[in-house]
A and B are shown apart, each in its own frame.
Chain A
């Protein structure tokens, strides 16, 4: 295991872009935890005297990145927003992983009618454009960050379940599974001991690629004002609230959250890509 891990790290390191992405992702992850402590102001405190204050480019030191249309400190909001985005990302991953793995394992391992029913239902879900699906679900569930998480997770569960099912179909035909069954092992033992560990690699790769996407969808829901309360310091919601003032030259309200979304999505996706490449190289050896 150790040598496998070293091999993955070694191949990953060859991809310089992925290494940079990894460090940006790491910084974001750290910011998500310590950000609220670093933030100089309360992110939701409204101060109408300080509306549209410019930031450092005009020499301001009080509000490093300026303030928005309600006088809230953008720097503080972005720091809080990092936590929100990553929290949603992780939650989406966790929900997707648990439900997707469960559905995929059950469907692939037991087959038969269960498999047919589950797979047809998944086909239906996959037929919707993902953003539309998330919008409809979020709108139905109502406002709240937890509901947004669930709405986004539902987009990914079908694809993950399919990936898992595909791997399960291969693994369950392996001789070591037959050997286990022949010695009298039950389904639970075989699923947890043999099948699950051997389908996990593609799942982990898929999930790392999902983090960036989940952040983007959170921002999209925030921007469209569905599922996420527009007052929360969420990047997408910030982007949305600033867009009307672009025309007045108050660009900073929109640009900084935009840069954060861009950085987060790009770095997590590059990280995921690099990881997939590295893991694949291990599989080839």
Chain B
């Protein structure tokens, strides 16, 4: 395939079987990520953004059934055996999570947990990796790395823990970094530091970054392309400038209007009526139709197809 994409997801569907019913958490999404670029994945709770990331990482629980294709360097990750996937995970594709406390093991110190990554993926161990660990910790901006690496996770602040997570994720210089709400649990001043750090590392290593967040501000600052997800569907997929200056989908438009901004003061915020649907109970037709302000008659009956408008992808009957 003469495609420059590092990661290409085709028609990914993820279904969870519960006792009573099946929940289609992600319903046929296509995304691609290029080397050195950042793809933003925005959406509200339950829209399927985190599940997508876990599917790419091969980290979904057994009762999830996945179909579609996830191409990474011309290999379909979904067809790989667990053993082969484990070699890619953490090595060529890494992930960082929202809450760094739960992703670090509380009973081991930082050095041990970082050494483990080197051991797993490069077969190096013990003292020989110590200088590398110190280097890495210094790169992610941890002061006194020689001393800090003897600390246990609970001795570090939230920002420091997220730096350690980034250090672990970047240890093997992965081709792709998936970040699931990496700064949501952090304070603004720390968030700005972490975003700057991620940006810097991405530039140096030419990493493809998949940034999952609900924060449109973060997306606007880091992403080149943006996917807007709603209830398991991609609603809109295009360049970040187009998304923010000329949003096509009424949902995207609504989202941009609802957020209060420092730069402009309005008397009253625009609202999107209704509530975020639960995936066990998605509305028929277009999934957004019951909250949409520009709804047409057919929106409640037929699911709109994905259409291309000026090279941009949108799923709406208006186009």
Contact = CB atoms under 8 A, between A and B. Distances in A.
A and B touch in the complex (CB under 8 A): yes
A10 B19 CA distance: 9
Contacts of A14: 19
Interface in A1-34: 10-11, 14
Interface residues of A, number: 3
A10 B20 CA distance: 10
Contacts of A11: 19
B129 to A, nearest CB: 39
Nearest to A285: B18
Nearest to B19: A10
A14 B19 CA distance: 10
A14 B20 CA distance: 13
B19 to A, nearest CB: 7
Nearest to B18: A285
B3 to A, nearest CB: 42
Interface string B15-30: 0000100000000000
A41 to B, nearest CB: 50
Contacts, number: 3
Nearest to B20: A10
Contacts of B19: 10-11, 14
Interface in A245-267: none
A16 to B, nearest CB: 15
A69 B19 CA distance: 55
B42 to A, nearest CB: 27
Interface in A66-90: none
A10 B18 CA distance: 12
A11 B20 CA distance: 11
A233 to B, nearest CB: 45
Interface in B150-172: none
B97 to A, nearest CB: 20
Interface string B266-299: 0000000000000000000000000000000000
A219 to B, nearest CB: 39
Interface in B1-41: 19
Interface in B117-175: none
A129 to B, nearest CB: 32
B16 to A, nearest CB: 13
A11 B19 CA distance: 9
A263 B19 CA distance: 31
Contacts of A10: 19
Interface in B90-106: none
B119 to A, nearest CB: 34
B115 to A, nearest CB: 34
Nearest to A10: B19
A11 B18 CA distance: 12
A229 B19 CA distance: 51
A212 to B, nearest CB: 28
B46 to A, nearest CB: 14
A180 to B, nearest CB: 27
Nearest to A281: B19
A112 to B, nearest CB: 27
B85 to A, nearest CB: 27
Interface in A211-248: none
Interface string B210-228: 0000000000000000000
A76 B11 CA distance: 71
A69 to B, nearest CB: 54
B21 to A, nearest CB: 13
B256 to A, nearest CB: 32
A247 B262 CA distance: 92
A7 to B, nearest CB: 9
A280 to B, nearest CB: 15
Interface in B47-66: none
B213 to A, nearest CB: 26
A174 B143 CA distance: 37
A14 B18 CA distance: 13
B95 to A, nearest CB: 24
A251 to B, nearest CB: 47
Q: Nearest 3 CB-CB pairs, A to B?
A: A10-B19, A11-B19, A14-B19
3 contacts: A10-B19, A11-B19, A14-B19
